[in-house]
Amino acid sequence: MRYLLIYDIGHDGTRNKVADVCLDYGLARIQYSAFLGHLTAAHRRELLLKIRQRLGNHGANIQVFALDEKAWTERRVIEQEEKGSHE
Amino acid sequence: MRYLLIYDIGHDGTRNKVADVCLDYGLARIQYSAFLGHLTAAHRRELLLKIRQRLGNHGANIQVFALDEKAWTERRVIEQEEKGSHE
């Protein structure tokens, strides 16, 4: 299953550790605070367990969403590069 | 349908404008860069149109995911408050 993981983690070191765990599990960083990739149910459980361990006492909000094919097909993306403001 | 919108927008003023548009359309801010709520298909189109207008020339990556009931049921959340580190 394809999963989207998003987080709010204020503490820089903790956020970096959690990002590393996400990358270790094969997720790709699609935004500063968002990761996307395929996981088995077992790996998703493991990933969340490892993230909890990395958090220690730091504040965090982490949310994981399962995206089936239909949800994936309906994804909409706006992507634009910063453009020069001088004509 | 329930939608999740996540963004990376570097320019503060632009990010605030886009956040305001999301709130105007009834989405709730669930993280610093993530909004969640119900939208009709028409409102989702309108919302994306208004966001594009607000972006101007600024760089942005915005992604919108449709979450059906099954995806919603499978959502996992880790939420913890910052705890004091002194015993």
| Alpha-carbon B16 to chain mean position | 12
Rounded to two decimals, the ipTM of the complex is: 0.92
Segment B16-42 mean pLDDT: 97
Segment A82-87 mean pLDDT: 65
pTM listed for this prediction: 0.93
In degrees rounded to 5, what are phi and psi of residue A54?
-70, -25
Pairwise pLDDT comparison (A86 vs A3), residue with the higher score: A3
Tell whether A73 lies on the interface with B, counting CB pairs under 8 A. no
Q: Show the tokens assigned to B77.
A: 């959340």
In degrees rounded to 5, what are phi and psi of residue A77?
-130, 130
- What is the predicted pLDDT for the residue at A85? 56
CB contact under 8 A, B78 and A58: no
Tell whether A85 lies on the interface with B, counting CB pairs under 8 A. yes
d(CA A57, CA A11): 10
Among A6, A66, A76, the residue with its CB nearest the CB of B34 is: A6
**C-beta of residue B74 within 8 angstroms of C-beta of residue B26:** no
Question: Which chain A residues are closer than 8 Å to B73 by Cβ?
Answer: none
d(CA A76, CA B13): 23
**C-beta of residue A68 within 8 angstroms of C-beta of residue B70:** yes
In degrees rounded to 5, what are phi and psi of residue A8?
-120, 110
Tell whether A63 lies on the interface with B, counting CB pairs under 8 A. yes
Distance from CA of B71 to the nearest CA of A (A): 6
Q: What is the pLDDT of residues A31-78, one digit of tens each?
A: 999 999 999 999 999 999 999 999 999 999 999 999 999 999 999 999
